[in-house]
Amino acid sequence: MKIWFDGKLVDKEEARVSVFDHAVLYGDGCFEGIRFYSGKVFRLQEHIVRLFDSMRYLMIELPWSFEEVCKATEETVAASGMEDGYIRLVVTRGVGDLGLNPKNCPKPSMFIIVQNIALYPKEMYENGLSLITSSYRRPNPDMLSQQVKSLNYLNSISAKLEAVQQNAGEALMLNERGNVAECTGDNIFIVKNGVVITPPLTECALGGITRHAVMDICVAEGIPCEERVMNRFDILSADECFLTGTAAEVIAATSLDGRTIGAGHAGPITKRILACYQKMVRL
């Protein structure tokens, strides 16, 4: 297994991050999760644009250009010998000291891992995920912008632990106003009276690449799609509900806090969008 690490492909045993890296000490850095299908990286440039936006926000400047990061990602995929898989591209602040000051980390680091990933078993895409409402809220943008894919995922991990403890597949996360934001690692959509609805990004949701792809599918398929503020009532009264994310792709959610959503299985519009997505990624 080869990993791209700071400019070259190395064996995984050689890909080592220092204990003094601020990514290890403080979760200081950002990342992208990317899929590839039939050897082709899905929406590579969109992912790398989002990565560079995150770095700009965090004031991390890589020694590699946008084009070089795209090329490095493709080289790592090619070196894996895999047809389909998952890419984790991580940028760290770099080695510093035990203090918080990021200026004491003169050189950022980047590594790219390619592996298989399967978040959920195949039958769950038909039967759907169970959701619980997390007691943890998404922070306001003035505290921590959800548009930055930061390495600090404690907010999501805390919510995921709640889901695991309650034997649920995922946790729904609200913002401080009690409106729906997203799930721990996925955007959320509902279907009501034939209209696909998702919360606007201003509700503390990440601008997901798969989210964008699904909205493109809706336009192409003539399915009405809207961004609309919603709360738990909207989910519980929806005809269908589904989640989107790079790793999860498109998966139905069929219950919330023990209460059935819609018919209790993947609905017709969810299935249609998933089928279109599966075609899209292999174009």
DSSP class of residue 281? T
Nearest-angstrom CA–CA distance, 170 and 243: 10
> What beta strand segments (E) does 151-258 contain?
170-174, 180-183, 187-192, 195-198, 225-227, 240-245, 249-256
In single-letter form, the type of residue at position 256 comes to L
- Tokens 């929806």 correspond to what residue? 238
Are 217 and 275 in contact by the 8 Å Cβ rule? The answer is: no
Query: Does 149 qualify as catalytic in the annotation?
Result: yes
Closest CA to 78 of 38, 131, 122: 38
Nearest-angstrom CA–CA distance, 234 and 180: 9
Residue 18 is encoded by which pair of tokens? 């220092």
Query: What percent helix, strand, coil does the chain show, rounded to 5?
Result: 30, 30, 40
Residue 84: C-alpha distances to residues 25, 32, 38, 104, 169 (Å): 33, 17, 6, 39, 24
Catalytic position from the list 149, 160, 271, 279: 149
Q: Report CA Rg, the chain.
A: 19
Counts for the chain of helices (H) and strands (E), in that order = 8, 15
Q: Pairing between strand 109-115 and 2-5? A: antiparallel
Are 102 and 132 in contact by the 8 Å Cβ rule? The answer is: no
Nearest-angstrom CA–CA distance, 213 and 280: 9
Q: Catalytic site residues?
A: 149
